[in-house]
Chains A and B, each alone.
Chain A
């Protein structure tokens, strides 16, 4: 018998829980110290395992198991009741209402998100369009300030139209000023900077750089407004 065979037979001996070591195994270990040592180690393990197996700790699980079982059954019963009550259940209605509210809130949030995205994406083109539109308005205002063949408006309405046109022209010029700032890559002047259109009183570099190209336009506008006012007052005087 080889040592390999001995090990296999020894395992079989333990697997079958045999009591007496077979003779052929005893013969082998009689002249093979290595296998004898292995057999002794396994035998010692068997003895220790027997002690280990005999330890029988006491436990009482019945109460705890039955308690958990009862709790589990109560939960199942409650779940079944709430399912059978269905739509009449206040909790169901509440959860249904909450679901609808959540759905509506989600839809609103989606619409707002799309709107914000659209505004952001079109911001640059919108600004450009706005600037060109305001320029057109300013030009139109200036043109309207010139006396034309149209009948002149009278009274408060004339003044409203005049101020409206002036406001549009001012907005257009402000837009042009902003474009100028962007083009020259300079910082915006602080809020207490003198007027952008005058140029006379500004000592600040930024406002000077703005006021210089805008000054003629501002003067032209002021002149146009003055002449228009003069025209209005004259026509009012002549009519009265």
Chain B
């Protein structure tokens, strides 16, 4: 099947039970869905489980999807809700210590990766609605308006949540000893100088 098939055709194929369409559907959106789940849940295993569940729910409810609207926000809504539910359930359970830092695959350790890890740790300390907001805005690069539509709340609320999320995360990074001046200086250096 052609990869450039439209969303409507893809959905129609899935509704008709075509396995090839279902596979293409998952492959097209798995990066986006898994990325959101992983950022929100911080655990790869949980993120894979929830992402699979998101696709299963999507397949079950594809007949409800409005073909006039894009598929991506519809899927992100399902994913954000599932992640939030999972986080709330997790909040009622103790968190095993050995599962706290497996959010990224093994790579060479770099300063960049350290920063990413710090952000992920800071994110995990936020309330679920702040996390949803932050991940949708920064990781999925959605606008405030789109985030508000997905979370089904006013734009003002999204702005407030984003602002609080930034403040809390900035405070977390400050307590973790990340010096903004040093970071900014490091960022403003010529990247080529590191190679010499």
Q: Which residues of A contact B (CB under 8 A)?
A: 11, 14-15, 37, 40-45, 47-49, 51-62, 64-66, 68-69, 72
A68 touches B56 (CB 8 A): yes
The distance from the CB of A139 to the nearest CB of chain B, in whole angstroms, is 76
Chain B residues lying within 8 Å of A51, measured Cβ to Cβ, are 112-113, 115-116, 119
Name B's A-contacting residues (CB within 8 A). 19, 22-23, 26-27, 30-31, 33-35, 38-39, 44, 48, 51-52, 55-56, 59, 104-105, 112-113, 115-116, 118-120, 138-139, 141, 144, 159, 162-163, 166, 169-170, 173-174, 178, 180-181, 183-184, 187
Asked if B116 and A52 sit within 8 Å, CB to CB, the answer is: yes
Can you spell out 27 A-B residue pairs with CB atoms less than 8 angstroms apart? Answer: A11-B166, A15-B144, A37-B180, A41-B170, A44-B178, A44-B184, A45-B173, A47-B183, A48-B115, A48-B119, A48-B173, A52-B119, A52-B120, A53-B141, A55-B113, A56-B35, A57-B35, A57-B44, A59-B48, A60-B30, A61-B30, A61-B34, A62-B30, A68-B52, A69-B22, A69-B59, A72-B56
Knowing A43-B184, A45-B169, A64-B52, say if A55 contacts B116 (CB, 8 Å).
Answer: yes
- Closest CB in chain A relative to B52 CB, distance in Å: 5
Choose one: B52, B104, B118; the contact of A61 (CB below 8 Å): B52
Minimum C-beta distance from B48 to chain A (A): 7
B173 touches A56 (CB 8 A): no
Contact in complex: A49, B44 (CB < 8 Å): no
Complexed CA–CA distance, A59 and B33 (Å): 10
Chain A interface secondary structure, helix, strand, loop or mixed? helix
A53 / chain B contacts, CB cutoff of 8 Å:
138-139, 141
Contacts of A40 in B (CB 8 A): 180-181, 184
Identify B56's interface contact among A47, A59, A69, CB under 8 A: A69
Residues on A with C-beta less than 8 A from B144 are 15
Asked whether B178 lies within 8 Å of A59 as measured between CB atoms, the reply is: no
Tally of A-B Cβ pairs under 8 angstroms: 109
Which listed residue, A11, A54, A68, A72, touches B159 by the CB 8 Å rule? A11
**B48 contacts A61, C-beta separation under 8 Å:** yes
Given contacts A42-B166, A44-B173, A55-B116, 14 further A-B contacts (CB under 8 A): A14-B162, A15-B162, A42-B170, A45-B119, A45-B166, A48-B118, A48-B178, A49-B138, A51-B112, A51-B113, A52-B115, A52-B116, A57-B35, A61-B30
Cβ A61 vs Cβ B55 within 8 A: yes
CA distance A56 to B141 in the complex (A): 14
Give the residue name and chain of the B residue nearest to A58 (CB): B105
Question: Which residues of chain A are within 8 angstroms of B23 by Cβ–Cβ distance?
Answer: 62, 66
Across-interface contacts of B48 in A (CB, < 8 A): 59, 61, 64
Q: Bound complex: CA of A62 vs CA of B183, how far in Å?
A: 40
Query: Closest chain B residue to A55 by CB distance?
Result: B116
From A37, A44, A60, give the contact of B183 (CB < 8 A).
A44
Decide: B55 and A65 in contact? CB cutoff 8 A.
yes
Docked pose: A98 CA to B39 CA in angstroms:
50
